[in-house]
Amino acid sequence: MRVQQQPAFILHQRHYSETSLLLDAFTPNYGRIGLIAKGARRPRSRLQGILRPFQPLLIGWSGRGELAVLTGAETEGPDFAIDRQALYCGFYMNELLMRLLHRHDPHEALYTCYRSSLSALRADKTNEAILRVFEKHLLREIGYGLVLDHDIGDNSAIRADALYDYIPERGPVRVANPDLNTRHKGIRLRGASLLALANETLDDLTTLREAKNLMRTILTRHLGDKPLYSRRLFYATTAPTVAGIERKVNT
């Protein structure tokens, strides 16, 4: 098999032998693929400055199976020059794709979403809304899309002013009496947050917090016990920065 001029982003790379790289690339038509870039680490290799994460590429490869051979790569416009907070978010999205996508499953819509998410990331923000929307699309693409528009108990439309328990793998059930201990095992959140996630309009802090809580619980079920390492970058972001961002949002 020979593929040429396929759009791609590098998700991850590691050294292979003396002068080569092993790449995981994300493409629209072939999904996540493994590639070997021969000679990419030679001092004068043209590929060295090109094969980097967050750089839109056009690549070609030949061969099938787990490892194909990269036959060409060129930039498709400038890189997204993502920096600081945006860089952490970029690594986070890459880690999710590495962990949750099987190789060779095409994901055209997700590729588009990944690309537009990257271009929307900002260096001086926590970018939470962008990450939640990306996670939503990712879950749908791998066959675990969330139910965000109706109560799975009685099929009624989600009401912004009601409270729900989101039952993983099933969906939201309205909480009849919030004071009573719930009989469902679920993630509690407001209807407004479900609707905001559905409409991709996550803008206030409560909505963002509830959406994060929901996504984190659902993703953990699919990720298993191994932690997401890129999250450690956010955690250690020192308190003054987080406070600084919240101040900016509030004013």
Concatenated DSSP letters of the chain: -EEEEEEEEEEEEEEETTTEEEEEEEETTTEEEEEEETTTTSTT-TTTTTS-BT--EEEEEE--SS-EEEEEEEESS------HHHHHHHHHHHHHHHHHPPBT---HHHHHHHHHHHHH--TTS--HHHHHHHHHHHHHHTT-PPP-SB-TTT-PBP-TTSEEEEETTTEEEE-S-TTSPPSS--EEEEHHHHHHHHHT---SHHHHHHHHHHHHHHHHHHH-SS--TTHHHHHHS-HHHHHHHHHHHH-
Provide the minimum distance between the beta carbon of 108 and other proteins in the complex, in angstroms, as a whole number.
23
Which CB, 68 or 93, lies closer to other proteins?
Answer: 93
Q: 65 pairs with which residues across the strands?
A: none
Provide the minimum distance between the beta carbon of 18 and other proteins in the complex, in angstroms, as a whole number.
5
Which CB, 11 or 187, lies closer to other proteins?
Answer: 11
Provide the minimum distance between the beta carbon of 88 and other proteins in the complex, in angstroms, as a whole number.
7
Which CB, 18 or 179, lies closer to other proteins?
Answer: 18
Provide the minimum distance between the beta carbon of 100 and other proteins in the complex, in angstroms, as a whole number.
13
Provide the minimum distance between the beta carbon of 28 and other proteins in the complex, in angstroms, as a whole number.
21
Closest C-alpha to 196, from 161, 160, 144: 160
Which CB, 90 or 191, lies closer to other proteins?
Answer: 90
Which CB, 167 or 228, lies closer to other proteins?
Answer: 228
Which CB, 78 or 143, lies closer to other proteins?
Answer: 78
Binding site for other proteins (CB under 8 A): 11-12, 14, 18, 49-50, 52-55, 75, 78-79, 81, 83-84, 87-88, 90-92, 94-95, 98, 228-230, 232-233, 236-238, 240-241
Provide the minimum distance between the beta carbon of 226 and other proteins in the complex, in angstroms, as a whole number.
9
